[in-house]
Structure 1
Amino acid sequence: MGGKYRITGNAYPRMRRPRRRRRIVFAVVAAVVALGLAGWGTVQLIDAFTGGDETTATAAKKARECEPVPVVSAAPPPPPREITVNVFNATPRSGLAKAAADELKKRGFTIGEIGNATEEYDKKVPGTAVLLGGATAHDGPFRVLGTQLTGTQLKTDTREGAEVDLIIGTAFTALSPKAQADTALAALSKPAPAPSGC
């Protein structure tokens, strides 16, 4: 060719448009992201206005069920002075019963007998202690005396009245610290609301 259409130089003109794959891929990705966000937003709005899977009545009922229910005990626990404690040592270590009885007396308990455990329990209490009392001891004396030491085992017999035996076991070292015992004792008179389970 000649004239104004004459080709000069080493480069030839492009006869087709350049490919635009990057723009197409970017446009597709942007559209997918936009659709995903729009769908997620729609679901959130639907849940916000309908309460998710719950109806309004169901949600209100659940809210009522989750309110703490106050615990009302049948009767307040007896004060320590009204509980007579017999202290028996079921371990080979001497002097434990006397020491424990003296400390319980300082804390306001009435002390009965002090001595070694009977053959039924002597050297046969592997834990901290056994609290032995009548059938009604669970309602008061066991709860009150249980604030003074941890890890006790509760047993009942045929006796009547509020007298309780504290049989010291081999794991016993000392009563709970007085401040800790006083806090636990005070909590018996002011029961906390029952857990709601929500």
Structure 2
Amino acid sequence: MTTDPAEAERRRAARRRHLQQRQTLVFGILITAMLAVALVAAAVWSNVIPSPFARPFSSPEPTEAATANAPCPPADALPAPFNEITANVFNATDQTGLAARTASGLAQFGVVISQEANYGGSFEGVANVVSGPRGLQAAYTVVELLPGATVTLDGRDDATIDVVLGGAFSEIPAPEAAPVDPEVPLTPPPGCTPVEVPEDTGAEQEAPVAEEATER
């Protein structure tokens, strides 16, 4: 049986077109899928959509148990006079000038600013006020100006406090809008740990010396 060369060529051309169409369809599907994956990955990376691998228990919500290690303010202590508080202000964010602005805001209340500087780390909360046992009254007084701030105890022996500003911090309120009532005792956080404040015996030790100098 003799095949018409023209017919054979038409059949070969039809097969080539069919193969090309199938290849175009397959490559089109692959390219579309790759673009979709890239778009989803970009959205997850930029936090537009949540990651499917995020574990909700990795960042638990604060609870009362979380404050169990927080030190308590002195029992029934009233807010400390602002002009008797000495504070260091540290910026733990990438906001330029935050420590200086906050130090200026605290100074309007009378707080004595010892230094202001960038912090060697980051903090995501409102603020962390660090003090030794002698500075807890001052720390909790300043926290009254920083709703949501925490207090952390360290081993320093004086009453100076460190105010570490975090990413959730906004600003110090104006003195006329201050929420601090000097007649209302400081409120301890739930589950806090009582701290024994060392007695300041300096005045007692200096008194006999003063009397002796008078007698001489």
With structure 2 as the length reference, what TM-score do the two structures score?
Answer: 0.48
Instruction: Give the secondary structure class of the aligned counterpart of 2:164.
Output: strand
Aligned length: 112
**Residue in 2 aligned with 1:189?**
183
Instruction: Give the secondary structure class of the aligned counterpart of 1:189.
Output: coil
**Residue in 2 aligned with 1:144?**
141
**Residue in 2 aligned with 1:166?**
163
Q: What is the RMSD computed on CA atoms of the aligned residues? A: 2.0
Whole-angstrom distance in 1 between the partners of 2:148 and 2:76: 25
8 A contact 1:150–1:176 mirrored in 2? no
Letter in 2 for 1:112: S
**Correspondence 1:21-170 to 2 at 5 A:** 74-118=76-120, 122-123=121-122, 125-138=123-136, 140-170=137-167
Which structure 1 segments of 5+ residues have no match? 1-72, 193-198
Deviation, 1:179, is 3.2
Query: Structure 2 vs 1, CA of residues 116 and 164 (structure 1 numbering), >3 Å: closer, same or farther?
Result: same
Whole-angstrom distance in 2 between the partners of 1:107 and 1:153: 20
8 A contact 1:117–1:167 mirrored in 2? yes
Letter in 2 for 1:87: V
Query: Structure 2 vs 1, CA of residues 130 and 191 (structure 1 numbering), >3 Å: closer, same or farther?
Result: closer
1:38-81, Cα deviation, whole Å (9 max, x unpaired): xxxxxxxxxxxxxxxxxxxxxxxxxxxxxxxxxxx655432011
1:95-115, Cα deviation, whole Å (9 max, x unpaired): 000000011111110001110
2:177 aligned with 1:180: yes
Query: Whose radius of gyration is greater, 1 or 2?
Result: 1
8 A contact 2:126–2:166 mirrored in 1? yes
Q: How many percent of aligned residue pairs carry the same amino acid?
A: 30
8 A contact 2:76–2:185 mirrored in 1? no
